[in-house]
A and B are shown apart, each in its own frame.
Chain A
C-alpha cells in the first residue's frame, strides 16, 4: 500500500478500524491480521468509493464487512473465542494514571460484553457508540432505520445488566 494513501485515507480513520477490529478479533495476532486486511481492502476498493457517503462511512462499512467475513472464516475452522486473550488487548496499564486505569479496565470489560453479542448487534452498538445516527447505522448495516432504536435499547440493557452483574 502506498504510504501517502495510508497517511491520507487510513491513518486519520485508524480509530474506527482499531475499534472494530478489536471487537471482532479473538487474539492480539488476529487483531493485527484483521487490521492489515481492513487496510488492504480499503486500498483495494478505493476506486469503488463514489463520494455518495462520507469517507468515514465507507471505512466503517469495509471494516465491518472484512471483520465479519474473517470471523466467519475463523468460525468455520473452529477457532473458539478466548476471553482471556482478548480481554486484555487494551492493557499494559502500568504507565497510566488512576483515572485512565479505571477507564481502561472499564473499556476492557465493555469489550468483553460487546464480544458476547451477535455479529450484527456488535456492529450496531459499535456504530452507536461512535455517535453515528440511526440513518447512518441503517445505511452501513443495511437494516431498517425504525428497528435500530429498538435494537440499541435492547443491546444497551443487555450490556448494562452484564457489566453490573
Chain B
C-alpha cells in the first residue's frame, strides 16, 4: 500500500456517508434498566446473606450454651429476612416498559420510604427487641439475682435508659453506614438520572 495514513484518513472520510451519526433515542432507557437490575440483584444478595448470618449466630450461641438467646436473635434475623423479602417484591412490580422517568421516580420514592421505615424500626424496634434479648441473656446466664443485689432500682433504670438509647443510636448509625456502603453509589446514580431526566424534560 503506497498511500500514507494521512491520505487514507482524509480521503476515507470525505464521503458524508461515514459521518452519519447513530440515532439517539431513549438515552436513559438502557442505563435505567441496568440500574434497576443491579439494585434488584444487590438487594436480593444482601437479604439472602441474613440466612447464613442467622444460622451462624444460632450455632455460636449454642456453643456458648445460650440456646434461648441464640434462638431469639436468630428468629429476629429471620424475621428481618422475611420482612425485607416482602418489601423487595415491590421491585418486581417496577414496569421498565414505562418511561424511565416514571419508574425511576417510583424507585426513588420506594428507597426513601424504605430508609425512613428502617430508621424508625431500628430507632424504636431495636432498643425494644434488644432489651428483651438482654433479659433473656441475663435470665439464661442466671445473673438476675447478682444484678438485683448489685444495683438499686434507680441505677437499673438509668442503665436501662442508657442501653435503650445506645441501641437506638448504634442501630441507626450502623444502618445508615451499611446502606451508604452497599447502596450508596446506586442511590446516587438513580438520583442523578432523575435529575438529568428532569432537566431534559424542561
Instruction: Specify which chain A residues have a CB less than 8 angstroms from the CB of B149 in the assembled complex.
Output: none
Contacts of A2 in B (CB 8 A): 200
B12: nearest chain-A partner, CB-CB: A107
- Rounded to whole Å, the gap between the CB of B118 and the closest CB of chain A is 31
Q: A103, B5: Cβ atoms under 8 Å? A: no
Cβ of A96 and Cβ of B15 under 8 Å apart?
yes
Question: Are A110 and B200 in contact (CB-based, < 8 A)?
Answer: no
Q: Decide: A156 near B5, CB < 8 A? Known: A2-B200, A103-B11.
A: yes
Whether A39 contacts B24 by the Cβ 8 Å rule is yes
CA distance A25 to B9 in the complex (A): 18
Asked whether B200 lies within 8 Å of A103 as measured between CB atoms, the reply is no
Contacts A1-B27, A36-B27, A39-B24; A110 near B8 (Cβ below 8 A): yes
Beta-carbon contact of B1 and A163 below 8 Å: yes
Would you call B5 and A14 a contact (CB within 8 A)?
no
Distance in Å: Cβ of A165 to nearest Cβ of chain B: 9
For window 54-97 of A, CB contacts with B under 8 Å fall at: 90, 96
Tell me which of A15, A33, A39, A104 contacts B19 (CB under 8 A).
Answer: A15
Q: Interface residues of B toward A: which range?
A: 20 to 34
In chain B, positions 1-34 with a C-beta closer than 8 Å to chain A are 1, 3, 5-6, 8-15, 17-19, 21-22, 24, 27, 30
Residue of A nearest to B3 (CB): A106
CA of A154 to CA of B1, assembled, Å? 19
Known: A39-B24, A90-B18. 13 other contacts (CB 8 A): A1-B27, A1-B200, A2-B200, A14-B21, A17-B21, A35-B22, A36-B22, A44-B196, A106-B1, A106-B12, A107-B9, A110-B9, A164-B1
Q: Which residues of A contact B (CB under 8 A)?
A: 1-2, 6, 11, 14-15, 17-19, 31-33, 35-36, 39-40, 44, 90, 96, 100, 103-104, 106-107, 110, 129, 156, 159-160, 163-164
A-B pairs with beta carbons under 8 Å apart, 24 shown:
A1-B27, A2-B200, A6-B24, A14-B21, A17-B21, A18-B21, A19-B13, A31-B22, A35-B21, A36-B22, A44-B196, A96-B15, A96-B17, A100-B15, A103-B8, A103-B15, A104-B12, A106-B1, A106-B3, A107-B8, A107-B12, A107-B13, A129-B6, A159-B5
